[in-house]
């Protein structure tokens, strides 16, 4: 997953992702660090059912197991700071990893998944990222929030581990000019972002073979 002249979407991406990439490219993220880690939260019941989730959605039993496996994979990495979304599923995943690393995660509301408003509780199978859900965030608002939240997270003492959501990963990749590879969106799959000069790339610590959902 190497950055190219312009970000693109690998495989069959959901509608509206090109607009997310366009919005992110208008003001890219330029952290001072040269590498960091990202972890999407473990699976939840509504992940498996492909339903838009509220912030209090808990991890499923599988999600708890995935978080424990991620903690094992990350235990040998030189992580100094863990910053996470304050949504329950992300915070609980971060706490599992933090316990193994003997760290304390710092929750940030700005790292939450996009607020889909009236769509929460409905099917996300046909998600359109360019939608404007009643009572929720527009795509522009979401990208701007992620830009602020990720900039703050990556300014912490590094290497930093960010624990958040599928939407956060879409935004992060776009903000760094890294093509979005849907194969990296598995639940609790640790990723390492690294920079060579101005160019960012990402590699998985381990690819998951199970068909985890790619949202929220």
> Which member of 57, 113, 137, 156 is catalytic?
113
In the chain, at which residue ranges do the beta strands (DSSP E only) sit?
Answer: 35-40, 81-85, 106-108, 160-164, 191-196, 199-204
> Distance between CA atoms of 114 and 142, rounded to whole angstroms?
6
> Which member of 41, 91, 108, 165 is catalytic?
41
Angle at 157 between CA 182 and CA 97, to 5 degrees: 55
DSSP 62: H
Give the burial class of 200: count Cβ atoms within 10 A of its Cβ; 0-12 exposed, 13-18 middle, 19 or more buried. Answer: buried
Is 11 among the catalytic positions?
Answer: no
Instruction: Find the distance separating the first CA and the last CA of the chain, reported in whole Å.
Output: 21
> Distance between CA atoms of 58 and 41, rounded to whole angstroms?
10
Question: How far is Cα of residue 199 from the mean position of the Cα atoms in its chain?
Answer: 20
Is 137 among the catalytic positions?
Answer: no
> Distance between CA atoms of 95 and 138, rounded to whole angstroms?
30
Cβ atoms of 63 and 46 closer than 8 Å: no
Catalytic residue positions? 41, 113
């Amino acid at each position: 997953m190497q950055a190219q002249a312009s970000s693109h979407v690998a495989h069959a991406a959901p509608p509206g992702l090109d607009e997310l990439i366009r919005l992110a490219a208008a003001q890219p993220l330029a952290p001072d660090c040269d590498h960091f880690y990202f972890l999407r939260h473990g699976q939840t019941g509504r992940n498996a059912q492909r339903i838009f989730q509220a912030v209090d959605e808990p991890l499923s039993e599988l999600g708890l197991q995935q978080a424990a496996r991620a903690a094992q994979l990350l235990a040998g990495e030189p992580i100094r700071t863990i910053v996470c979304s304050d949504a329950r599923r992300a915070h609980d995943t971060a706490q599992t990893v933090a316990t193994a690393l003997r760290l304390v995660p710092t929750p940030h509301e700005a790292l939450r998944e996009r607020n889909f408003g009236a769509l929460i509780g409905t099917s996300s199978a046909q998600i359109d990222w360019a939608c404007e859900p009643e009572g929720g965030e527009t795509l522009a608002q979401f990208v701007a929030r992620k830009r602020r939240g990720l900039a703050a997270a990556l300014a912490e003492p590094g290497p930093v581990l960010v624990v958040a959501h599928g939407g956060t990963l879409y935004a992060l990749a776009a903000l760094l000019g890294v093509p979005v590879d849907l194969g990296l969106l598995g639940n609790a799959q640790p990723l390492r972002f690294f920079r060579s000069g101005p160019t960012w790339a990402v590699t998985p610590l381990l690819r998951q073979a199970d068909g985890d959902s790619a949202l929220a």
